[in-house]
């Protein structure tokens, strides 16, 4: 006798089977792509290979045709390009309509976006409209043996890493923060298939208008911890704001940026945009020097993918040593100035 038919399972298959392909939404501003889109292209490539499907770049904007070639260089096989003046500046409504049009028409299995202001806004709106799940701020992505996207992210205040799956609905949607995934190598000789889409939406159908764009002028002076190649970070062990001067000195020698733990930021020793960790920035520098930082899980999730981690802590049991490439057990007020002096001598 044939095994009994599980109606629920049949229904699930009917619903999800038409969906194929991995999509990466290519975020851009004035035709300038966001780096996170190419980082996601690297993850998308791996997912597409595991699923044995094609990787698509979704490019929405005005005068953005050149981004298709760039997407191929970072691993895309094909690019849907929606190039219309109405998409010139990001607004939720036209981008939402465009994405939903594409999802309904082509049924992707996986959709990835950067966890940026734009990506967070758009991903949530699309997931709600197409009635599927969305996992925000993923730190790891993989595929299980049933073609489900395994979306790993910190949960319960970072105390556990949860793997979340959306096995009943498609597409499976995830956002990933900038710098969480490595930038794949760019292959300038790569080619792909451009798929222009004629979708249009009239300005009259959109409620929002961009009246003025004000650029943040402090931007050029602002320190970018997330993009830094070298970071010297301080925690509660620094004891006071003025003590960060010794970290600034070391950073000056290395051409590094000074960051810190949440404790340091909460104490007012550093501005909030320097915070590294779950509720701060995710960093991936070549060298991360952690001074007087214990290594709480919420801090580790933001920096553990750094190439080299040097930890300075007087407590040999501090959890930071578990992720450190090199550990120095000692008083940071002795070690840091000695290190600065030694580098100066080189
Ligand atoms: P502590 O844990 O107090 O560690 C200080 C360390 O300095 C100790 O290990 C001590 O041995 C060492 N030390 C002291 N004096 C010296 C000395 N003279 N020389 C050498 N070593 C010395 N934290 C973040 O960092 N980033 C986040 O984004 C973040 N998000 C959070 C989100 C949530 C929801 C929650 C609940 C917490 C979050 N936290 C975050 C806080 C986190 O749990 C820790 O409390 C915090 O990271 C601890 O900071 P710290 O390591 O500087 O301080």
Q: Whose Cα sits closest to atom 39 in ligand 1?
A: 298
Q: Cα separation of 152 and 163, whole Å?
A: 4
Sort 103 into a burial class: Cβ within 10 Å, 0-12 / 13-18 / 19+. Answer: buried
Q: Cα separation of 133 and 325, whole Å?
A: 37
Q: What is the Å distance from ligand 1's center to 262 Cα?
A: 7
The model's pTM: 0.80
234 CA closest ligand 1 atom index: 52
On the CB side of 261, how many CA atoms lie within 13 Å of its CA? 21
Pocket-forming residues, ligand 1, beta carbon under 6 Å: 157-158, 235-237, 261-264, 275-280, 292-294, 296, 298-299, 302, 312-315, 318, 331-333
Q: Cα separation of 99 and 76, whole Å?
A: 18
295 CA closest ligand 1 atom index: 51
Bridge partners, 208 (sequence order): none
Q: What is the Å distance from ligand 1's center to 117 Cα?
A: 27
pLDDT in tens, the chain (346 residues): 777 778 888 998 899 999 999 999 999 999 999 999 999 999 999 999 999 999 999 999 999 999 999 999 999 999 999 999 999 999 999 999 999 999 999 999 999 999 999 999 999 999 999 999 999 999 999 999 999 999 999 888 777 889 999 999 999 999 999 989 999 999 999 999 999 888 889 999 899 998 988 876 655 556 789 889 999 999 999 999 999 999 999 999 999 999 999 999 999 999 999 999 999 999 999 999 999 999 999 999 999 999 999 999 999 999 999 999 999 999 999 999 999 999 999 8
Q: Cα separation of 303 and 262, whole Å?
A: 13
């Amino acid at each position: 006798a044939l095994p009994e038919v599980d109606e629920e399972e049949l229904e699930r298959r009917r619903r999800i089977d038409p969906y194929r392909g991995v999509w990466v939404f290519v975020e851009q501003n004035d035709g300038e792509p966001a780096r996170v889109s190419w980082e996601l292209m690297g993850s998308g490539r791996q997912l597409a290979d595991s699923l044995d499907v094609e990787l698509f770049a979704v490019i929405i904007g005005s005068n953005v045709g050149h981004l298709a070639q760039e997407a191929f260089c970072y691993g895309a096989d094909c690019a849907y390009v929606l190039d219309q003046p109405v998409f010139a500046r990001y607004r939720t409504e036209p981008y939402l309509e465009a994405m939903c049009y594409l999802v309904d028409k082509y049924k992707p299995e996986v959709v990835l976006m950067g966890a940026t202001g734009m990506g967070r806004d758009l991903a949530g709106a699309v997931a709600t409209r197409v009635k599927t799940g969305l996992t925000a701020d993923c730190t790891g992505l993989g595929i299980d043996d049933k073609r489900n996207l395994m979306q790993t992210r910190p949960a319960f205040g970072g105390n556990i890493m949860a793997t979340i799956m959306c096995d009943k609905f498609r597409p499976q949607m995830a956002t990933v923060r900038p710098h969480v995934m490595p930038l794949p190598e760019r292959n300038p000789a790569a080619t792909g298939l451009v798929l222009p889409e004629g979708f249009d939406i009239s300005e009259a159908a959109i409620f929002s208008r961009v009246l003025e764009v004000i650029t943040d002028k402090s931007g050029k002076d602002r320190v970018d911890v997330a993009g830094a190649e070298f970071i010297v970070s301080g925690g509660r062990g620094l004891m006071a704001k003025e003590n960060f001067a010794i970290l600034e000195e070391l950073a000056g020698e290395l051409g590094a940026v000074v960051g810190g733990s949440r404790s340091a930021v909460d104490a007012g020793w550093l501005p909030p945009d320097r915070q590294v960790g779950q509720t701060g920035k995710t960093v991936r520098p070549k060298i991360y020097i952690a001074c007087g930082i214990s290594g709480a899980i919420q801090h580790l999730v933001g920096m553990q993918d750094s190439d080299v981690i040097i930890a300075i802590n007087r407590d040999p049991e501090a959890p930071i040593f578990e992720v450190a490439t090199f550990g120095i057990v000692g008083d940071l007020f002795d070690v840091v100035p000695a290190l600065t002096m030694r580098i100066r001598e080189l």
